[in-house]
Structure 1
């Protein structure tokens, strides 16, 4: 095991209903986008669970998970906030000691 907590199941459709690309009449390529979004959400959730209960900022999430864009980490942390024990707030990142918006799982 690589030290990353595994989810018992992937994030479900009900957990990402707000994505506009989930409409049943969208082109097939949008299904691949949803798959990529789900993968990023799952990676961020596992990363946050591994560091629990320590808070971590979006730039550190993007750097540690090798995401191309910090906005991907930010979007994922926004989506996770308030679900699965995650909360988002202003605080100090455990990894870089910078003050700003962080997410943690408690």
Structure 2
């Protein structure tokens, strides 16, 4: 994934723009007007553990719910 104009690219760019803040799949879905959260889930699961992206249970920065969130480590 390289941040292009695909759904995967849009999701990756959103996560990077959040600058280390965690975001849940539901908020990714909402922010990008995706049709179902499963679209975000497939991408965030693939990103987790690669190139500084991590998924873990934590508070979502956007909605405040404790869910599995994805963030990109800021170094």
TM-score, normalising length from structure 2? Answer: 0.89
User: Which has the larger helix fraction?
Assistant: 1
Give unpaired runs (5+ residues) of structure 2: none
Equivalent residue of 2:30, what SS?
A: helix
The residue correspondences of 1:8-19 to structure 2 (distance < 5 A) are: 10=2
Equivalent residue of 1:101, what SS?
A: strand
Aligned to 2:34: 67
Measured against aligned partners, the alpha-carbon deviations of 1:65-102 in whole angstroms (never above 9, x if no partner) come to 01001100011100111112100000000000000100
How far did 1:10 drift?
3.3
The residue correspondences of 1:32-71 to structure 2 (distance < 5 A) are: 39-71=6-38
Where relative contact order (Cα < 8 A, 6+ residues apart) is larger, the structure is 2
**Aligned positions, number:** 72
User: Which has the larger strand fraction?
Assistant: 2
1:86 pairs, out of 30, 53, 56, with 53
- Cα root mean square deviation, aligned: 1.7
Aligned to 1:99: 66
Measured against aligned partners, the alpha-carbon deviations of 1:17-73 in whole angstroms (never above 9, x if no partner) come to xxxxxxxxxxxxxxxxxxxxx811111110000002100000000000010011000
Bigger radius of gyration, 1 or 2?
A: 1
TM-score, normalising length from structure 1? Answer: 0.64
